[in-house]
Structure 1
Amino acid sequence: MSDNKRSVMAEEVSTSLLSSWVHRNSDLYLSAIRAPFIQSIRDGTLDLRLYTRWLGQDYLFVKEFCRFVASVLTKAPESIGDEDLDILLGGLSSLQEELLWFRSQSIQWNTKFDRLSKHKITEAYCSFLKQLTGPDIEFPVAISSFWAIEMVYNESFVTCLERDAKTQPELLEACQRWGSKSFQEYCSSLKRIADRALADAPQEVVQKAEKLFREVLELEVAFWSMSFASDCHL
């Protein structure tokens, strides 16, 4: 790594609380974005049956994620700026298109996502999302968790689009969905909203938010690994 790049990264950590969390939890962060599931997509070695397992469970997760994102919007303070409000509204509205995409994938892969049962790992992640909708979860906590979930997807799938990646053609559409430049910009917008919210939050709220940030990373690691489990079936 060049001295210039190190300087840029150091500056980002010093100016962004969320970046400092990533730096402080770097091992867990790297486990989340460089999971074997993602690496096997990047290397072109993933058994497509395992991908379909994951995709079906992700569909069930996204249905619960819609409710969580709606709750983030309701927790936003009345003083939130119009630009930030538009970003949150846009994120919520885009989830309808995402669910339609999943349903088209269900047809493409000849599966029945709507008939699936949640794997225990999916159930645990969805239970976590439900907890985040509760009245005891402040907006800075909710928005930072929102960013963390989206960030892991973006930073994972973007590696599958790198020049030297050997991603299978059948998986490129999904990788382009979550690894695109536009999705990266969306994640950056969520990060800015979260950093501003945390800057004005009491210390105990900041500590709660970082604790849940680590929980998101742990859940992401488990969720990626789920498709390799013998008890995960279509």
Structure 2
Amino acid sequence: MEILCSYDEMLADYFEGRLSDEDRIEMEAHLSKCNLCRETLVAVNGVVRGQSRFQLEDAPKEVTEAAVCLINKQICVSCEPLIQRVRRFVIGMPFYKMLNSLYTKISEFFTTPWAGWRLAPIRGSERTISKNLINVRKRFNGIETEIEIEKTGHNKARIRVELPEYDTQKKQLRVTLKRDDREISSFLLNVDRVFFEDIPFGHYSLIFVRDDAKIGTYLFEIRETRHDG
């Protein structure tokens, strides 16, 4: 069993940039030799800085210090993998419920039968047509949507979006493809289907908007696998 490091009290100040130049140099020299402090720093950075994904304010000093303290306790009393320890730590944090509520709206990522894809549907059915083609049906605000993602070549994919039962004449629906936070392309669904062609592999989202109001988001990742030629 590992014991607490004598530098753990300085770790929160180092993380927040509050150390003097002399103390910072000393802390960085210590981090180069101390696995315990490095592991704690990585875990705190992932938890505290992770809130920026949800456009929250920076964590106050007390939260960072509590993160260091609690993660250190988890490291010292447990032999379980770090990801499990961090998960148990996060559940105890004050802002966990807020993050969990937002994250639930996005849904948890899961691995599809094709190991190169990780899709994150909120609701709906998914079926694999072939190793390079996946079809997903989702319902956004009562509108049935069919999404088809096909690998067409090396680092290249095509995405088809179709509205099987939607009357495009009643209310127009817009679908926008984004890579991370950058818009790639956008189409008005005034036809039964649209295509996004020659899409490089990466993390993407399809955002559906009707009457200037977002009605749903679909997150997914396309990536290379060891089986790709």
Same fold (TM over 0.5): no
Max Rg structure = 2
Q: Which has the higher helix share?
A: 1
